Amino acid sequence: MNIPIEYYLILSALMFIAGTIGVIIRRNAIVVFMCIELMLNSANLTLVTFSSYLGNAIGQVFVFFVMSVAAAEAAIGLAIIIMVFRNKLTVNIDEINLFKW
């Protein structure tokens, strides 16, 4: 059974849009963070799709890189969020506006 490539790409685009909207409208830093992961994974899905479509393994290698970077980012990002929470007792990013003029 052969699922057409458009299906994968549409799914990936929907995931990306969902992630973007999540980053923009959600207030909880952890949710925002998770949305970023969602965006990354949608990109991964695209890479894998094209990799299998073109019969080229490089796309899959890229995915592993993206995943490892995402893991590192998640570790640091979560650590930052924890520190912010300890200081401000909130993870609401509306209230974390230290770089304001």
Partner 1 sequence: MINLIYLTVLLPLLGFLINGLFGSKIKNEKIIGIIGSSTVGIAFLISLGAFIETLSLPVESRSNVVSLFTWLNVANLNIKFAYLVDQLSLVMALVVTGVGFLIHVYSIGYMHGDKGFWRFFAYLNLFIFAMMNLILGDNFLVLFLGWEGVGLCSYLLIGFWYDRKFEKGTVAEAAKKAFIVNRIGDFGFLLGMFLIYQTFDSLNFAEVFSKVPNYPVGDIVFTLIALFLFIGATGKSAQIPLFVWLPDAMAGPTPVSALIHAATMVTAGVYMVARSSIIFVSAPTVMLIIAIVGLATAFFAATVGLVQNDIKKVLAYSTVSQLGYMFLALGVGAFSSGIFHVMTHAFFKALLFLGAGSIIHAMHEKQDIQHYGGLKKYMPKTYITFLIATFAIAGVPGLSGFFSKDEILWNAYSNGGMLFWVIGVLTAMLTAFYMVRLVSLTFFGKERFDKSHVHPHESPNVMTIPLIVLAILSVLGGYIGIPALFSGNGGNKFEVWLHPIFENANLRVLHYGSHSHLEEIILMVTSVILALSSMYFAYHVYTKNRSIAENISKSFNSLYQLLLDKYRIDEFYEFIIVKPIKNISEKVLWKFTDNKIIDGFVNSAASLVDSTSSLTRKLQNGLTQFYAILMLLGISAVLFWIIIKI
Interface residues toward partner 1, by CB under 8 A: 20, 23-25, 32, 93-94, 96-101
Q: How far is the CB of 20 from partner 1 (least distance, A)?
A: 6
Toward partner 1, which CB reaches closer, 35 or 47? 35
Within a 13 Å sphere around the CA of 53, how many CA atoms are in the beta-carbon half?
13
Toward partner 1, which CB reaches closer, 6 or 94? 94
29-54 helix and 58-88 helix, angle to the nearest 10 degrees: 180
Q: How far is the CB of 55 from partner 1 (least distance, A)?
A: 26
Q: Are 27 and 92 in contact (CB under 8 A)?
A: yes
Q: How far is the CB of 74 from partner 1 (least distance, A)?
A: 17
Toward partner 1, which CB reaches closer, 60 or 90? 90
Toward partner 1, which CB reaches closer, 11 or 31? 31
In whole angstroms, give the CA distance from residue 77 to residue 85. Answer: 12
DSSP-assigned letters across all residues of 44-64? HHHHHHHHHHHT-THHHHHHH
Q: How far is the CB of 29 from partner 1 (least distance, A)?
A: 9
